[in-house]
Amino acid sequence: MEFLKQDMMPWTKDTVKAYQKDKAYSVEEFASIWVKMKVKHVRLLNLISILYIHLEKNSSLQSLIDFKKRSNGELMALSVLLCGLFLSLTLEKVSEFLNLQLAAAIGLSQITNLSEVLRIALEYPEFKYF
């Protein structure tokens, strides 16, 4: 969890820096930058993908509290950014978006980060739909 805490701040800073505050973004422009920032911080994605099933379940109470405090601060910085970029968004909607983004990042990281053996197995014709 320490690595995850360390990786969150640079991702947040890079994400906030990537957007111009006085620019109106289309959904496509916003999404393109958002995804680039996720891909740029691949270790963060890998750690987030095991956050709930391993890291949090095997942590002490104090580690969890420290992690949640750091996460809360980073999420607030992202919330301020999003509310500034999309003035019609409420904090509730931003929170919903960030939670959905977290779930999507976890799922996509797990199904796209394939081992070499799995990549080879998926080349077999009978597995083409996987």
At 68-97, the pLDDT tens digits run 999 999 999 999 999 999 999 999 999 999
Residue span of the structural domain in which 99 resides? 2-127
Number of domains in the chain: 1
C-beta contacts of 86-93 below 8 A and 24+ residues apart: none
pLDDT tens for 34-55 read 999 998 998 998 899 888 888 9
Angstrom distance (rounded) from CA 11 to CA 42: 10
Q: pTM of this prediction?
A: 0.80
Name the nearest CA neighbour of 21 among 75, 72, 86. 86
8 Å CB contact between 10 and 41: yes
| Residue type at 120 in one-letter notation | I
